[in-house]
Amino acid sequence: MVFSKSSFTLGNFRAIYLVFLCCIGSFLFAYDTGIVGGVLTLASFEKDFRYSKKAATNVNSNCVSILQAGAFFGCFLIWPITARFGRRLSIVLSSLVFCLGGILQVVNTHSIGCFYAGRIISGFGVGAATVLVPMFSAEMAPKNMRGQLGSCFQLFFALGVCTSYWVNYGVQKHIKSSTLQWQVPIGLQLVPGGILGLGMLLVKESVRWLAKKGRNDEAWNNLVWVRGGDGPEVQAEFEEIQQGLEEEFRATEGVTWKELLLPANRFRVFVIISMQLGVQLTGNTSLAYYAPQIFAAVGAGQSTLLVTGFFGVVKVVAVSTFCLFIVGRIGRKTAFMGGAAAMGSFMLAIAIIVAKDPPSGKITSPAIAAIIMVYAEAASYNFSWGPVSWLYMGEIFPTRIREFGIAIGAAAQWLFNFMLSQITPHAVKNLGWKTFLMFSIFNYALVVYAFFVLKETQGKSLEEMEAVFGSRETAVDSEAIRAKIERQANGKANAEYEVAHVN
């Protein structure tokens, strides 16, 4: 049956709805990332949770980093759940967990320990969702929309951070110092969290997960639903999914963690872990979480949250420009090296400006220059290490160990995120302008790292990628593993044959 106009429109509508839900998930992670830094600057929050100015630095680092710790464990805890119960219900569960943590945060318990507990619980939900949402979108989105989905996912992340900054600015300007002043920005995170969970109740289970479980009739019906019809294109797509799963099964049969220790794979694991550390050492995670404190340190004075709001706008514009015009035009190594060099230079400029003209509580010409340098540094990150690191992580692993590799990369991201979240507020308080010098040195070191360690992967096929990473030994060892599996299978078959004939 050929698509009718109505079924085609229905399929488009459902695909767009699916993309919207996945982007809401991205927006949620980002909003939660950006909102806490501003809330922690509010005197009303400090008053309600009854901690002293002296304890503020520890509270700041704990409020941010414990969510990362929860997310780290959430990444792993969700795997057996989604493997058994599917993507859809797992996303609903992660949304529910996130919202429970959000409720604990928004209730004025006067206990910072209770607020910490809410952050940890929300972290479990965020970590699980960061694994599930990209997985679900990749398995359900039409091929012709996957590129747009990837771009929209990154764009909505930037929009979520930007929104959080402006919400913080709005409550500071328009709500008097009270419990409501911090409850509004914290409570608003329940909106995208709830939309993600409730929205998932109106979609079907992942076609690919069902097919992988052998539930082909359900998989076919769900594919017909999400595509809005059962035409030849849908039939061809379903056959392609089945063939892809068969090929994946052949490629991953007998795979174990031990294969990560083969020489070329060992190098890939080293690259992915060190690259995720590099992402954090650029200083941009610290800028995202503690933007108000950072801008206060460079001299934004009473305009800290307003300046932070425009910081969010800069990030949205930068990542949009990169996704639309740059991503396919430059190599991965060029992006990594150029981005790190630019960020190192801007961080060095910030350090020099702040060292020569320390913040005075008022906006001065040097303070404006420092703020512009922070904006330029953030734009450089969103042209390079921000989006390209995730792209690179998905490219370098062969099919046989790709899930293992990406899991290690995601876990490393949350672990290093946690570490830098703990360190940054103490560094800003104790080192002042030297914090920016520290990040400058890190960025210049990353130029050297990218030149000598990272391989160029742009435009490479899977076969070419194996050659790029010197995987000849891996290929030989993998063939030996597969041959061993075949020998075991043949031996078992021969034994069964002999038993059958003896009987």
| pLDDT band at residue 386 using 50, 70 and 90 as cut-offs | confident
Q: What is the pLDDT of residue 502?
A: 47
Question: Which of 5-19, 186-200, 201-215, 426-440 has the lowest average pLDDT?
Answer: 5-19
Which DSSP state fits 322?
I
CB 290 within 8 A of CB 424: yes
Who's near 199: CB < 8 A, 6+ residues apart? 17, 20, 21, 24
What average pLDDT score do residues 235-252 get?
Answer: 82
Length in residues, the chain: 503
- Is pLDDT of 350 > 70? yes
**What share of the chain has pLDDT > 90, as a percent?**
34
Please count the structural domains in the chain: 3
Domain that holds residue 141: 19-203
What average pLDDT score do residues 400-414 get?
Answer: 80
CB 229 within 8 A of CB 8: yes
Q: What is the pLDDT of residue 219?
A: 93
Question: Which of 56-60, 202-206, 377-381, 485-489 has the lowest average pLDDT?
Answer: 485-489
Q: Are residues 308 and 427 in the same domain?
A: yes
CA–CA gap between residue 426 and residue 57 (Å, rounded):
6
Q: Are residues 312 and 447 in the same domain?
A: yes
Q: Are residues 290 and 425 in the same domain?
A: yes
In a domain? residue 443: yes
- Is pLDDT of 477 > 60? no
What average pLDDT score do residues 347-368 get?
Answer: 87
Question: Which of 89-98, 300-309, 493-502 has the lowest average pLDDT?
Answer: 493-502
Hey, what are 125's tokens?
A: 């939900």
In a domain? residue 487: no
In a domain? residue 225: yes
CA–CA gap between residue 11 and residue 385 (Å, rounded):
35
Question: Which of 28-42, 346-360, 395-409 has the lowest average pLDDT?
Answer: 395-409
What average pLDDT score do residues 257-274 get?
Answer: 86
Q: What is the pLDDT of residue 294?
A: 83
In a domain? residue 71: yes
Which DSSP state fits 328?
T
Q: Are residues 173 and 276 in the same domain?
A: no
CA–CA gap between residue 298 and residue 350 (Å, rounded):
8
Q: What is the pLDDT of residue 185?
A: 95
Query: Which residue, among 487, 374, 391, has the nearest Cα to 439 in the 3D structure?
Result: 374
Rounded alpha-carbon distances, angstroms, from residue 222 to 89, 218, 243: 15, 6, 18
Q: What is the pLDDT of residue 25?
A: 82
Whichever domain contains 68, its CATH number is: 1.20.1250.20
Q: Are residues 24 and 45 in the same domain?
A: yes
Query: Which comes out higher in pLDDT, residue 134 or 378?
Result: 378
Q: Are residues 336 and 362 in the same domain?
A: yes
Query: Which comes out higher in pLDDT, residue 464 or 32?
Result: 32
Give the range with max mean pLDDT: 15-24, 209-218, 463-472. 209-218
In a domain? residue 6: no
Report pLDDT digits (tens) over 280-297.
Answer: 999 987 787 778 878 888
Question: Which of 40-44, 47-51, 458-462 has the lowest average pLDDT?
Answer: 458-462
Q: Are residues 229 and 269 in the same domain?
A: no
How many Cβ atoms sit within 10 Å of the Cβ of residue 407? Answer: 14
**The overall pTM is greater than 0.85:** no
| pLDDT band at residue 486 using 50, 70 and 90 as cut-offs | low
Q: Are residues 215 and 198 in the same domain?
A: no
- Is pLDDT of 1 > 90? no
Query: Which comes out higher in pLDDT, residue 239 or 362?
Result: 239
The residue type found at 309 is G
In a domain? residue 222: yes
In a domain? residue 482: no
Q: What is the pLDDT of residue 475?
A: 47
Q: Are residues 148 and 113 in the same domain?
A: yes
Q: What is the pLDDT of residue 247?
A: 77
Q: Are residues 87 and 114 in the same domain?
A: yes
Q: Are residues 66 and 82 in the same domain?
A: yes
In a domain? residue 217: yes
How many Cβ atoms sit within 10 Å of the Cβ of residue 261? Answer: 11
Report pLDDT digits (tens) over 114-149.
Answer: 999 999 999 999 888 888 887 787 788 776 666 556
Q: Are residues 98 and 232 in the same domain?
A: no
Q: What is the pLDDT of residue 399?
A: 66
